[in-house]
Amino acid sequence: MKSLTRDSALIRATSLQERSPRFILGIVGKPGVGKSTFTDYLRERLSQELVAILPMDGFHMSNEELIELGRRERKGSLDTFDVDSFIQTLAQVKKCEGDVRFPIFKREIEASIADAGVIPATAQLVIVEGNYLLHTDSGWEDVASYLDETWYLTVDDQLRMQRLIARHIAFGKPAKDAKDWSEGTDEANARIIQESESKADFVVTLS
């Protein structure tokens, strides 16, 4: 398995933004590993005209739908996303035939805003970040075919858990509920995501 540091990952991403046709890079990792922070780090240092970010989180099912399906208490699990819409969006991004709109998830309201994000037609490097990009079951098996390369992020698990609990608290969960959710639903998902590591092209070690 090839490895990258944060610095060498940036160097590689810099070269990928100049690829033609469009290059789609998948960023995978457990909850709390720092996927959004890492992709923001890359975006801030790459060409704003050539790079766009597509977060998987925008494709959460609505809370109303999750309640109806009895899945609200497992939000973030494999079957709580609209994977079909996610794949359709990836297919549009791959075609490079114009701007592509996508939903953005807002943690403050625990809901997605339709068409709040855009992948401009000019983007040469599209970074897709999410938990289940390399999962091979439950409708996710087609996602990897749209990704030209994948990076699996890792960080010390104790630090990851501390960050995850702190994030839940920051967005309104009481401390006990934040700990219970992180060690329950989130950790169950983390074990599933861990199986993806061997499928990634590179492992990026963060701190």
Q: Could you tell me the domains of the chain?
A: 2-205 (3.40.50.300)
Tell me what pLDDT residue 19 has: 83
Residue numbers in the chain where pLDDT is lower than 50: none
Answer yes or no: are the C-beta atoms of 81 and 189 closer than 8 Å.
no
Using CA atoms, how far apart are residues 62 and 44, in angstroms rounded to an integer? Answer: 30
pLDDT at residue 193, as a whole number? 94
pTM: 0.92
Which residue, 102, 133, 146, is CA-closest to 27?
133
Residue ranges of E strands in the chain:
2-4, 23-28, 51-55, 100-106, 111-119, 125-130, 149-154, 202-205
CB 33 within 8 A of CB 155: yes
What was the pLDDT predicted at 42?
A: 95
User: Rounded to the nearest 5°, which phi and psi values hold at 4?
Assistant: -135, 145
Angle at 39 between CA 51 and CA 201, to 5 degrees: 90
Alpha-carbon distance of 205 to 197, in angstroms, equals 12
- Alpha carbon distance 124, 48 (integer Å): 10
